[in-house]
Chain A
Amino acid sequence: MENSRRKFLKTAGYSVLGVAAGSMLIGITPRSATTAEDSSGGPKYKSRDEALKAERWGLVIDTRKITSRINRSMQRACHREHNVPDFVRKLGSKQHEIKWIWPTPFKNAFIEQDLQYISDHLKRTEIPVLCNHCNHPPCVRVCPTQATFKRESDGLVLMDYHRCIGCRFCMAGCPYGARSFNYRDPREAIEEINPDFTLRTKGVVEKCNFCAERLARGESPACVEASNGALTYGDLEDASSDIRKLLAEYHAITRKAELGTLPSVFYII
């Protein structure tokens, strides 16, 4: 009730403001493709009973527990699960590389941090980076077709690969380099196709989807499972969740906090 009233007010407000003026405001308060569909009176789907739910999914990465072996197995788990092609191995060149999660030195993951005297562990170990599922995502703001959108129900930033026109505006908009473009047919470089997940075509962008398809089946994200306890996920809005407990106990940082994108991926240093 509360919700639909809010939606009504929102809609009415926008109509009054008029298309042009309203649109400028939308740019300030992000709105996603899904809200419009939810309120359209279309078919209502029940989510599966086994589905894991959260108000805002988040991830905490404990960099102290990360090893290069964990990095490798997380990437392998994610890329196998999601049919991510390995062009680097196939072609020996990084030009058409596609990656959803990958290890990188601390100084590259956190270019804005003070890097003068970082700890030995951070010098030695690479840390995993992936899409931050920003609460205020610039990639969604710039997408001209809403093919990239923020799912209001759980805060995940997701993509519709069938709507994406391949303009790559979202890649310019993402300040974390989290997105990849299919410069060619990905099937050339997928070792074994996972029939349970979509195959992309050439000409569309892709990125980490927080394993939305696994959450819907009641499973944890693949990288979390492969992380040997270094990664913890859960509901950021739920004060009793595991990740909120971790965040309450340790100081954690996010990448490029100064940009105001409000990442949902946190790093304990």
Chain B
Amino acid sequence: MLEKALSGSKTYYTLVLGLLVLIGIGFLFYLKQLDFGLGVTGMNRDVTWGFYIAQFTFLVGVAASAVMLVLPYYLHDHKEFGKMTVLGEFLAVSAVLMCLLFIIVDLGQPQRLLNVILYPTPQSMLFWDMIVLNGYLFLNIIIGWNVLSAEKEGVPPEKWLKPLIYLSIPFAVSIHTVTAFLYSGLPGRGFWLTAVLAPKFLASAFAAGPAFLILLSFILRKFTNFDVGKKPIQTLAMIVCYATIASLFLFFCEIFVTFYSQIPEHMDHKLYLFFGLDGKGALVPWMWTSLLMLISAAVLLVIPSGRKNEYVLGLACIFVFFGSWIDKGLGLISGGFIPNPLHEVNEYIPTVPEVLISLGVYAIGFLVLTILFKVVVGVKEEVRG
């Protein structure tokens, strides 16, 4: 099937070439980071996780969101998702791949990565994160590939796939739950120390992931003749709508608990993010943009006529995607580290090498996504004849 990725239109080749260039640039800067150390990034003694770990967290959500297609399709026999499910699974594959790469580029001693397996430490949440992420990656590769092959042959998928598909559902939930547990179990980090962190992660993931899938299907429809159809898009739009509302609701709950209780250690992080602290507030405009984007998206989507209009829907999906990206990809990690345990404010701003390395990782993910989607489109065209 992979041969379908080898021949394509000019646009396809340009896209692949562009991604390869980005990968090359990112790789060169990564070599520099390997040589000099993580000092090429903007991280400091207080903000010890930065852009990389934030992207990792965001992408875990994108990966987990495939379950929003798999679950209705396989558990509730929601037939209209049939054409899309494999897209979701392949999106998950590329997203998890990016997650793993973001963890690796964040390590100070990446050549010792295997120590996590050589000295397995189940009391560390990172150990479990490694297990569920790798498990989810393999499940989705196996499921996606075999379902697609079966479609190509015109036969129903193999029987042994079923249990794996069912297994992938709890795995999807667990990757994002365990990722939230990385943060929410740390004493003395008031910003993350909340039981709603995992549910909030899931809600925002189930908003941002499907929003991205909707945008991807629009792109596929424009550049190929593969159309998933109107109905599944509308169902997904509904999922995006309610997931966005749920994540806003959980955010509101957090704000209430924090500011009604008035416990300084919990308030200060949110004050830093939304108003600035000690005269420092690099993220203030970002956080408000994110909040406004999510609220407007929720309003646009909850109105039926808005949701049904594809331009409005597209705009709302862009809002949801970037709103959640800012929330998780910028605010979540910095916000937890600022102020630091001694209540000092040392800000973090990513550097150019850091952003270019991140872009390189994203380019690898998109390259894999492009190739996998190319195969999907090719197979679907062939089957249709």
Residues of A within 8 A of B (CB): 19-20, 22-24, 26-27, 30-31, 33, 94-98, 104, 107-109, 111-112, 129, 138, 141-147, 163-169, 171-177, 180-185, 201-205, 256, 259-261
Contact = CB atoms under 8 A, between A and B. Distances in A.
Chain B at the A interface: SS class: loop
A259 B188 contact: yes
Contact of B121 (A146, A174, A175): A146
Interface of B: 36-39, 41, 43-46, 48-49, 103, 106-110, 112-113, 115-116, 118-119, 121-127, 130, 182-183, 185-189, 265, 336-337, 340-344, 346
B108 A204 contact: yes
Nearest to A33: B119
Given A108-B343, A165-B115, A97 B45 contact: yes
Contacts of B344: 108
A142 B110 CA distance: 18
B122 A146 contact: no
Contacts of A261: 187
Contacts of A96: 39, 44-45
A154 to B, nearest CB: 21
B123 A27 contact: yes
B115 to A, nearest CB: 4
Contacts of B45: 94-98, 177, 180-181
B37 A184 contact: yes
Given A108-B344, A144-B116, A169 B126 contact: yes
Contact of B116 (A94, A165, A203, A259): A165
Contact of A203 (B44, B107, B341): B107
B343 A142 contact: no
A145 B121 contact: yes
Contact of A144 (B49, B127, B337): B127
Nearest to B125: A142
Contacts of B127: 144
A97 B340 CA distance: 14
A164 B123 contact: no
Contacts of A176: 188, 341-342
Contact of A177 (B119, B336, B342): B342
B126 A142 contact: yes
Contacts of B121: 143-146
Nearest to B44: A95
Contact of A168 (B48, B183, B188): B48
Contacts of B108: 164-168, 181-182, 202-205
Contacts of A95: 39, 44-45
A20 B115 CA distance: 19
B122 A165 contact: no
B186 A183 contact: no
A177 B122 contact: no
A141 B124 contact: yes
Contacts of B346: 94
A145 to B, nearest CB: 4
A203 B109 contact: yes
Contacts of A144: 115-116, 121, 124, 126-127, 130
Given A96-B45, A138-B187, A184-B36, A165 B123 contact: no
B110 to A, nearest CB: 8
A163 B119 CA distance: 9
A172 B49 contact: yes
Contacts of A22: 122
11 contacts: A20-B122, A27-B123, A104-B342, A143-B121, A144-B121, A144-B126, A163-B115, A167-B107, A172-B183, A173-B186, A180-B45
Contact of A172 (B37, B48, B109): B48
A26 B167 CA distance: 26
Contacts of A173: 186-187
A259 B193 CA distance: 12
